[in-house]
Structure 1
Amino acid sequence: MLHKTQGIALSYIRYRESSIIARVYTEAFGLQSYIINGVRSAKSKTNRIALFQPLTLLDMVVYYKEDRDLHRISEVKTPYPFQHIPFEVAKSSIALFVTEMLTKTLKEEASNPALFRFLLTSIVYLEEATEQYENFHLAFLLQLASFLGFGPESAGEFEAQLREHSVPFLADDTMSEAVNTFLSTPIHTPVRLNRAQRADLLDGLVAYYRIHFDNLGEVKSLAVLREVLG
């Protein structure tokens, strides 16, 4: 049966000679996998593979059956072509990191409208921001944790969990205040952190996610993000 849904592209892998299997977080069905044929063929007249680059927003018409792990797409387009995320080093580094974390943590194959709206508005903000978005990934991870069911209520709780699991994390008053701000205000709220504080908080957040996801594994985009933003 055909269904209309919005989606957020996360990743894709090559499949056979000219196809891909794309992972997409959808508004209607949660995390889904789709096979898209012919997008890597030299005969392909359109660059449809670009639609499945990290965080691309999609309007989709899809085939869906509950008992299947792999679905097909009837129609797909982006209503919001990116002008900045793929072409600016800082934004593309953030996008790769956010995408990798989402790929590792989003598992539910069911609709979650509140989570989808959070992801959608966050991505639009990252695309449109012209300044003071260097802390985006920090605020994003803290707020995402709440949607995933393990978000801390305060900086004190965040720091206590890290201590309980013997994570070496030394937060000063500025960092604690920043965490409380990230937890309680919109993702675009400006917060002043220096490069070292940003790097330390990023390491603390990844460690915090590892506490709750035993199989998180290596976060490959982390080194690039540290280099670009700290």
Structure 2
Amino acid sequence: MLQKTRGIALSYIRYRETSIIARVYTEEFGLQSYIVNGVRSAKSKNNRIALFQPLTLLDMVVYYKNDRDLHRLSEVKTLHPFQSLPFEVTKSTIALFVTEMLNKVLKEEAGSPVLFRFLLDSVLFLEEARSNYENFHLIFLLKLSFFLGFGPEGAREFEDQLRENSYPFLPDAAVEEALNTMLRKPFGTPISLTRTARNELANALVAYYQIHIDTVGEVKSLPVLREVLG
């Protein structure tokens, strides 16, 4: 049955000689996997494989059956063409990290329009921001944790949960203030953090997710993120 939905590309793997299997978080159906034929062929038109790069926003017509794990696309196009996110090193590195975390924590379940709207608005902010986005990944993970059911009410609760699970996170007053600001204010709010504090907080947030979601495991993009932002 043909259905229209918007989606956010998360990742893809090669499938046979010229195709891919793409993972997309959709507004209507949640996390879905799609076979996309012919995109790795030399004859493929318009570089369609670029549509499935991390966090690309998609407008899709899909064949959907709720008893299948693998679906097919009828039509796909860019919902909002990117001008900066794939091309600026800092933004693309943040996007890689965010996408890896989303791949680890999003589940194959019914769509959540509220969660999709949060993800869409977050990606659009990162794409369009010209300043004050160096802490985007930290704010994003903090806000996402509420949608996943384990958001902390404040910096102290965040610290307590880490300590209870033997993670040595001892922030100073400035980092505590930054954490509380991130929890309560929107993307783009100016927040002063040293490079060291930013990297330590990224490590702590990954550990926080590992406490609550046992599938997180190692985050391979984290060292790259630390190097680029450090």
State the TM-score, normalizing by the size of structure 2.
0.98
Query: What whole-Å deviation, never above 9, does each CA across 1:137-163 have from its counterpart, x for those lacking one?
Result: 000000000001111111110000000
Q: Distance between the aligned counterparts of 2:102 and 2:146, measured in 1?
A: 14
Once structures 1 and 2 are overlaid, which stretch shifts more, 128-137 or 180-189? 180-189
Name the counterpart of 1:68. Answer: 68
Q: Which structure 1 residue ranges, 5 or more long, are not aligned?
A: none
Consecutive unaligned residues in structure 2, runs of 5 or more: none
Letter in 1 for 2:52: F
- Asked whether the equivalents of residues 133 and 187 of structure 2 are also in contact (C-alpha less than 8 Å), the reply is no
> 1:188 deviation in Å?
2.0
Q: What CA distance in whole angstroms lies between the structure 1 residues aligned with 2:14 and 2:43?
A: 17
The aligned amino acid for 1:100 is E
2:173 corresponds in structure 1 to: 173
CA deviation vs aligned residue, 1:103-145 (integer Å, no higher than 9, x gap): 0000142111111011000100000111111000000000000
Q: Note if contact 2:105-2:215 (Cα within 8 Å) is conserved in structure 1.
A: no
Separation (CA, whole Å) in 1 of partners of 2:215 and 2:59: 31
Deviates more, 1:39-48 or 1:51-60: 39-48
Superimposed CA distance per residue, residues 171-214 of structure 1 (whole angstroms, 9 cap, x where no aligned partner):
11111111111111112212111101101111110100010112
Deviations 1:59-81 (A, max 9, x none): 00001000000000100000211
Pairs aligned (count): 230
1:21 aligns with 2:21: yes
Helix, strand or coil at the partner of 2:8: strand
Following TM superposition, the consecutive aligned residue runs of length 4 or more in structure 1 with deviations greater than 3 angstroms are: none
The aligned runs of 1:44-83 (5 Å cut-off) are 44-83=44-83
In the alignment, the residues of structure 2 paired with residue 200 and residue 169 of structure 1 have an alpha-carbon distance, to the nearest angstrom, of 8
Residue 185 of structure 1 aligns to which amino acid in structure 2?
K
TM-score with structure 1 setting the length: 0.98
- 1:37 aligned to 2:37? yes
Identity of aligned residues (%): 73
